[in-house]
Amino acid sequence: MTPEELAAARDRTIADVIAGNLRVLFCGINPGLLSAATGHHFARPGNRFWPALHASGFTPRQLAPAEQEELLDYGLGITNVAARATARADELSDEELREGGRALVASVHRYRPRWLAVAGITAYRTAFGERAAKIGPQERVIGTTRIWALPNPSGLNAHWTPRTIAEEFARLRAAAGDS
């Protein structure tokens, strides 16, 4: 992918991987430029989402971003808080995140996943006005959907290692069950 192709992906959106009654709907902060250019969520090679999904037992093997539609076979999906692609999540305004939180609530009401797993605690806090939220299950529910805040799997998030991210995904998996 050339720098020009990546730059052209700025502000694009990508389609959700979603269906009704999912076990877990994973929610990224927003698409990165490579994700927008390819149309695949969590597409940057350094992103730890796909490895954590597998290491935690959500998938029987590590899927590639281009295989994202296979998530539906496991009762899983992907969306984003903010739809607009940027090079870094900190390019989003607080209002974009709050607006994305409102759209996410509507989407959850429509599709009714058992769990909404927001990958990025800072984005979760801003989108839902939950300034004191911590990683893990949240008290807030949307209809019957429970919420879990996960660490941001971006390679830029050095506070969390691949192992500790996978452990948090595994805690969610245990809460979400296998069916």
CA dihedral 168, 170, 171, 173 (to 10 degrees): 130
Residue with tokens 């730059």: 7
Q: Which residues pair with 17 in a beta bridge?
A: 78
Give 117's strand partners.
Answer: 26, 148
| Residue 158 buriedness (CB in 10 A; 0-12 / 13-18 / 19+) | exposed
pLDDT at 157: 78
pTM, to two decimals: 0.96
Q: Which of 30, 47, 80, 157 is flagged as catalytic?
A: 30
Residue 179 has pLDDT above 70, yes or no: no
Instruction: For residue 30, indicate whether it is catalytic.
Output: yes
> Which pLDDT value is given to residue 178?
67
Of 41, 47, 80, 152, catalytic: 41
- Start-to-end CA span in the chain (Å): 38
pLDDT at 86 exceeding the cut of 60: yes
